[in-house]
Amino acid sequence: MIEVKNLNKSFGDAHVLKGISTSFENGKTSLVIGQSGSGKTVFLKCLLGLFYPEEGTISYDGKIYSELNSDEKRDLRSEMGMVFQGSALFDSMTILENVMFPLRMFTKQNKSEMEDRADFVLKRVNLADAHYKMPSEASGGMQKRVAIARAIVNKPKYLFCDEPNSGLDPKTAIVIDNLIQEITEEYNITTVINSHDMNSVMEIGEKIVFLKDGLKAWEGSKETIFKTDNKVVTDFVYSSELFKKVRQMYLEERQ
Protein backbone atom coordinates (compact mmCIF):
# COMPACT_ATOMS: atom_id res chain seq x y z
CA MET A 1 0.00 0.00 0.00
CA ILE A 2 1.23 3.47 -0.88
CA GLU A 3 0.19 6.41 1.29
CA VAL A 4 0.76 9.97 0.20
CA LYS A 5 0.38 12.78 2.73
CA ASN A 6 0.36 16.51 1.97
CA LEU A 7 2.66 16.22 -1.07
CA ASN A 8 4.04 19.55 -2.29
CA LYS A 9 6.46 19.98 -5.17
CA SER A 10 7.64 23.17 -6.90
CA PHE A 11 9.96 23.99 -9.77
CA GLY A 12 11.20 27.53 -9.21
CA ASP A 13 8.12 29.71 -8.86
CA ALA A 14 5.79 27.05 -10.28
CA HIS A 15 3.98 25.22 -7.48
CA VAL A 16 3.12 21.99 -9.32
CA LEU A 17 1.74 19.74 -6.57
CA LYS A 18 -0.26 21.41 -3.81
CA GLY A 19 -0.78 19.31 -0.73
CA ILE A 20 -1.94 16.04 -2.30
CA SER A 21 -2.99 13.28 0.10
CA THR A 22 -4.26 9.91 -1.05
CA SER A 23 -3.55 6.19 -0.82
CA PHE A 24 -3.25 3.28 -3.24
CA GLU A 25 -4.16 -0.23 -2.10
CA ASN A 26 -2.54 -3.58 -2.85
CA GLY A 27 -4.10 -5.66 -5.60
CA LYS A 28 -5.99 -2.70 -7.01
CA THR A 29 -5.51 -0.68 -10.16
CA SER A 30 -5.52 3.02 -9.36
CA LEU A 31 -5.63 5.73 -11.98
CA VAL A 32 -4.39 9.30 -11.72
CA ILE A 33 -6.20 11.42 -14.28
CA GLY A 34 -6.26 15.07 -15.20
CA GLN A 35 -5.59 17.53 -17.98
CA SER A 36 -2.13 18.04 -19.42
CA GLY A 37 -0.14 20.18 -17.01
CA SER A 38 -2.21 19.14 -13.99
CA GLY A 39 0.84 17.56 -12.32
CA LYS A 40 0.20 13.85 -13.04
CA THR A 41 3.69 13.07 -14.30
CA VAL A 42 5.37 15.04 -11.50
CA PHE A 43 3.17 13.16 -9.02
CA LEU A 44 4.19 9.81 -10.52
CA LYS A 45 7.88 10.81 -10.56
CA CYS A 46 7.59 11.75 -6.87
CA LEU A 47 6.12 8.29 -6.18
CA LEU A 48 9.04 6.75 -8.08
CA GLY A 49 11.58 8.78 -6.11
CA LEU A 50 12.81 10.57 -9.24
CA PHE A 51 11.66 13.93 -7.81
CA TYR A 52 12.00 14.90 -4.17
CA PRO A 53 8.97 16.74 -2.73
CA GLU A 54 9.61 19.87 -0.64
CA GLU A 55 6.91 18.91 1.78
CA GLY A 56 4.87 15.82 2.60
CA THR A 57 5.61 12.12 2.84
CA ILE A 58 5.21 9.02 0.69
CA SER A 59 5.19 5.70 2.50
CA TYR A 60 5.42 2.26 0.94
CA ASP A 61 3.89 -0.36 3.25
CA GLY A 62 4.77 1.85 6.20
CA LYS A 63 8.30 2.75 5.05
CA ILE A 64 8.58 6.53 4.57
CA TYR A 65 10.74 7.10 1.48
CA SER A 66 12.44 10.29 2.67
CA GLU A 67 13.54 8.61 5.90
CA LEU A 68 15.30 5.70 4.16
CA ASN A 69 19.07 5.65 3.67
CA SER A 70 20.48 5.25 0.15
CA ASP A 71 20.78 1.43 0.38
CA GLU A 72 17.21 1.11 1.66
CA LYS A 73 16.01 3.42 -1.13
CA ARG A 74 17.83 1.26 -3.65
CA ASP A 75 16.23 -1.89 -2.21
CA LEU A 76 12.81 -0.23 -2.32
CA ARG A 77 13.32 0.86 -5.91
CA SER A 78 14.19 -2.69 -6.89
CA GLU A 79 10.66 -3.57 -5.72
CA MET A 80 9.17 -1.07 -8.18
CA GLY A 81 8.29 -1.68 -11.81
CA MET A 82 7.67 1.12 -14.24
CA VAL A 83 6.07 1.19 -17.67
CA PHE A 84 7.08 4.41 -19.41
CA GLN A 85 4.97 6.32 -21.89
CA GLY A 86 7.44 5.55 -24.70
CA SER A 87 8.18 2.06 -23.31
CA ALA A 88 11.86 3.05 -22.68
CA LEU A 89 13.20 -0.30 -23.82
CA PHE A 90 16.99 -0.52 -24.11
CA ASP A 91 17.45 -0.37 -27.85
CA SER A 92 20.84 -2.08 -27.83
CA MET A 93 19.32 -5.24 -26.32
CA THR A 94 16.95 -7.86 -27.68
CA ILE A 95 13.46 -8.19 -26.19
CA LEU A 96 14.63 -11.18 -24.11
CA GLU A 97 17.66 -9.24 -22.81
CA ASN A 98 15.43 -6.27 -21.96
CA VAL A 99 13.15 -8.49 -19.88
CA MET A 100 16.09 -10.27 -18.24
CA PHE A 101 17.79 -6.97 -17.38
CA PRO A 102 16.30 -6.46 -13.86
CA LEU A 103 17.12 -10.08 -13.04
CA ARG A 104 20.73 -9.61 -14.17
CA MET A 105 21.02 -6.48 -12.03
CA PHE A 106 19.27 -7.58 -8.85
CA THR A 107 19.33 -11.36 -8.57
CA LYS A 108 21.96 -14.06 -8.38
CA GLN A 109 20.11 -16.35 -10.79
CA ASN A 110 22.11 -18.15 -13.46
CA LYS A 111 21.47 -17.55 -17.14
CA SER A 112 19.05 -20.45 -17.66
CA GLU A 113 17.00 -19.47 -14.58
CA MET A 114 16.80 -15.90 -15.85
CA GLU A 115 15.80 -17.08 -19.32
CA ASP A 116 13.11 -19.33 -17.86
CA ARG A 117 11.64 -16.47 -15.83
CA ALA A 118 11.81 -14.04 -18.76
CA ASP A 119 10.23 -16.65 -21.01
CA PHE A 120 7.43 -17.12 -18.46
CA VAL A 121 6.58 -13.40 -18.24
CA LEU A 122 6.86 -12.92 -22.00
CA LYS A 123 4.31 -15.71 -22.42
CA ARG A 124 2.19 -14.03 -19.72
CA VAL A 125 2.03 -10.86 -21.81
CA ASN A 126 1.29 -12.91 -24.94
CA LEU A 127 4.71 -12.50 -26.53
CA ALA A 128 5.85 -16.08 -26.81
CA ASP A 129 7.82 -15.77 -30.03
CA ALA A 130 9.45 -12.32 -29.98
CA HIS A 131 12.44 -13.12 -27.76
CA TYR A 132 15.20 -12.34 -30.23
CA LYS A 133 13.67 -9.31 -31.93
CA MET A 134 15.17 -5.88 -31.30
CA PRO A 135 12.78 -3.28 -29.81
CA SER A 136 12.91 -1.32 -33.09
CA GLU A 137 11.46 -4.37 -34.87
CA ALA A 138 8.46 -4.55 -32.52
CA SER A 139 5.18 -2.66 -32.93
CA GLY A 140 4.02 -0.07 -30.36
CA GLY A 141 1.68 -2.58 -28.68
CA MET A 142 4.44 -5.21 -28.52
CA GLN A 143 6.86 -2.68 -27.04
CA LYS A 144 4.31 -1.82 -24.34
CA ARG A 145 3.88 -5.49 -23.53
CA VAL A 146 7.65 -5.97 -23.35
CA ALA A 147 7.81 -2.95 -21.01
CA ILE A 148 5.14 -4.57 -18.82
CA ALA A 149 7.04 -7.86 -18.88
CA ARG A 150 10.26 -6.07 -17.86
CA ALA A 151 8.40 -4.23 -15.10
CA ILE A 152 6.96 -7.40 -13.56
CA VAL A 153 9.80 -9.87 -14.18
CA ASN A 154 11.40 -9.28 -10.78
CA LYS A 155 8.05 -9.65 -8.98
CA PRO A 156 7.63 -5.99 -7.98
CA LYS A 157 5.37 -4.90 -5.13
CA TYR A 158 4.55 -1.61 -6.85
CA LEU A 159 3.82 -1.07 -10.54
CA PHE A 160 3.68 2.40 -12.09
CA CYS A 161 2.51 3.10 -15.62
CA ASP A 162 2.77 6.46 -17.37
CA GLU A 163 0.11 6.65 -20.08
CA PRO A 164 0.43 2.98 -21.06
CA ASN A 165 -2.12 3.40 -23.85
CA SER A 166 -0.75 6.46 -25.57
CA GLY A 167 -0.25 5.92 -29.28
CA LEU A 168 -2.09 2.58 -29.32
CA ASP A 169 -5.21 1.67 -31.25
CA PRO A 170 -8.36 1.20 -29.11
CA LYS A 171 -8.27 -2.61 -29.33
CA THR A 172 -4.62 -2.89 -28.28
CA ALA A 173 -5.25 -0.28 -25.57
CA ILE A 174 -7.95 -2.51 -24.05
CA VAL A 175 -5.62 -5.52 -24.22
CA ILE A 176 -2.94 -3.55 -22.34
CA ASP A 177 -5.45 -2.26 -19.76
CA ASN A 178 -6.79 -5.73 -19.08
CA LEU A 179 -3.29 -7.17 -18.90
CA ILE A 180 -2.26 -4.61 -16.27
CA GLN A 181 -5.39 -5.27 -14.23
CA GLU A 182 -4.97 -9.05 -14.41
CA ILE A 183 -1.34 -8.83 -13.36
CA THR A 184 -2.21 -6.47 -10.51
CA GLU A 185 -4.77 -8.91 -9.11
CA GLU A 186 -2.70 -12.02 -9.84
CA TYR A 187 0.46 -10.78 -8.06
CA ASN A 188 -1.32 -8.51 -5.55
CA ILE A 189 0.67 -5.49 -6.76
CA THR A 190 -0.07 -1.86 -5.93
CA THR A 191 -0.57 -0.37 -9.39
CA VAL A 192 -0.75 3.33 -10.17
CA ILE A 193 -1.47 4.45 -13.73
CA ASN A 194 -1.30 7.95 -15.17
CA SER A 195 -3.83 8.23 -17.92
CA HIS A 196 -5.75 10.51 -20.22
CA ASP A 197 -7.69 7.64 -21.64
CA MET A 198 -11.32 7.64 -20.48
CA ASN A 199 -11.76 4.09 -21.74
CA SER A 200 -9.14 3.00 -19.20
CA VAL A 201 -10.89 4.98 -16.48
CA MET A 202 -14.19 3.21 -17.15
CA GLU A 203 -12.56 -0.19 -17.71
CA ILE A 204 -10.02 -0.65 -14.93
CA GLY A 205 -10.25 2.34 -12.57
CA GLU A 206 -10.80 0.66 -9.23
CA LYS A 207 -9.58 3.88 -7.68
CA ILE A 208 -9.44 7.20 -9.52
CA VAL A 209 -7.63 10.33 -8.37
CA PHE A 210 -8.43 13.44 -10.38
CA LEU A 211 -5.81 16.22 -10.36
CA LYS A 212 -6.45 19.78 -11.43
CA ASP A 213 -3.81 22.50 -11.29
CA GLY A 214 -1.75 20.46 -8.84
CA LEU A 215 -4.64 19.88 -6.44
CA LYS A 216 -6.57 16.69 -5.79
CA ALA A 217 -9.95 17.76 -7.15
CA TRP A 218 -11.77 14.45 -6.71
CA GLU A 219 -11.26 10.84 -5.65
CA GLY A 220 -13.48 7.85 -6.34
CA SER A 221 -13.87 4.75 -8.48
CA LYS A 222 -15.20 3.79 -11.92
CA GLU A 223 -18.62 3.31 -10.33
CA THR A 224 -18.76 6.63 -8.48
CA ILE A 225 -17.40 8.65 -11.41
CA PHE A 226 -20.78 8.14 -13.15
CA LYS A 227 -22.68 9.50 -10.18
CA THR A 228 -20.51 12.44 -9.23
CA ASP A 229 -21.85 15.97 -9.64
CA ASN A 230 -18.40 17.48 -9.25
CA LYS A 231 -18.37 19.88 -12.20
CA VAL A 232 -14.58 19.83 -12.60
CA VAL A 233 -14.65 16.05 -13.02
CA THR A 234 -17.71 15.90 -15.26
CA ASP A 235 -16.33 18.67 -17.51
CA PHE A 236 -13.16 16.64 -18.01
CA VAL A 237 -14.41 13.06 -18.10
CA TYR A 238 -17.60 13.72 -20.04
CA SER A 239 -16.19 16.25 -22.47
CA SER A 240 -16.96 13.97 -25.44
CA GLU A 241 -20.54 13.36 -26.64
CA LEU A 242 -19.97 9.61 -26.51
CA PHE A 243 -19.11 9.59 -22.80
CA LYS A 244 -21.97 12.02 -22.07
CA LYS A 245 -24.35 9.46 -23.61
CA VAL A 246 -22.71 6.56 -21.76
CA ARG A 247 -23.19 8.42 -18.48
CA GLN A 248 -26.78 9.28 -19.32
CA MET A 249 -27.56 5.64 -20.13
CA TYR A 250 -25.89 4.49 -16.90
CA LEU A 251 -27.88 6.95 -14.81
CA GLU A 252 -31.15 6.06 -16.61
CA GLU A 253 -30.52 2.36 -16.00
CA ARG A 254 -30.01 3.05 -12.28
CA GLN A 255 -33.28 5.00 -12.04
Partner 1 sequence: MTYLHNIGAYFIMIKDMFRKPTKWSVMKTLIFKDIDDLIIGSLGIVAFISFFVGGVVTIQTALNITSPLIPKYLVGFATRQSVILEFAPTFISIIMAGKVGSFITSSIGTMRVTEQIDALEVMGINAINYLVFPKFIALMLYPFVISIAMFLGIIGGMAACIYGGFSTLDDYITGIQMDFIPFHVTYAFIKTFVFAFCLATIPSFHGYFMKGGALEVGKASTTAFVWTSVVIILLNYILTQLLLS
CB 125 within 8 A of CB 145: yes
Number of residues that bind partner 1 (CB under 8 A): 25
Range 179-184 contact pairs with CB under 8 angstroms and sequence separation of 24 or more: 179/125, 179/126, 179/145, 179/148, 180/29, 180/83, 180/148, 180/204, 181/29, 183/124, 183/148, 183/152, 183/159, 184/27, 184/28, 184/29, 184/159
Question: C-alpha distances in angstroms, 46 versus 40, 80, 160?
Answer: 10, 13, 11
Q: According to the binding rule CB under 8 A, does residue 80 interact with partner 1?
A: yes
* Binding-residue pattern over the window 40 to 69 for partner 1, x denoting contact by CB under 8 A: --------xxx-------------------
CB 25 within 8 A of CB 185: no
* Binding-residue pattern over the window 146 to 175 for partner 1, x denoting contact by CB under 8 A: --------------x---------------
Both ends of the chain: CA-CA distance in Å?
36
Report in angstroms how near the CB of residue 162 gets to partner 1 at its nearest. 9
Report in angstroms how near the CB of residue 108 gets to partner 1 at its nearest. 9
Binding segment toward partner 1, per CB under 8 A, in 22-30, 84-92, 185-193, 230-238:
84-92
Q: According to the binding rule CB under 8 A, does residue 14 interact with partner 1?
A: no
Q: According to the binding rule CB under 8 A, does residue 76 interact with partner 1?
A: yes
Residue 243 CA to residue 2 CA, distance in Å, equals 31
Q: According to the binding rule CB under 8 A, does residue 75 interact with partner 1?
A: yes
Q: According to the binding rule CB under 8 A, does residue 237 interact with partner 1?
A: no
- Interface contacts to partner 1, rule CB under 8 A: 48-50, 70, 73-78, 80, 82, 84-86, 88-91, 101-102, 104-106, 160
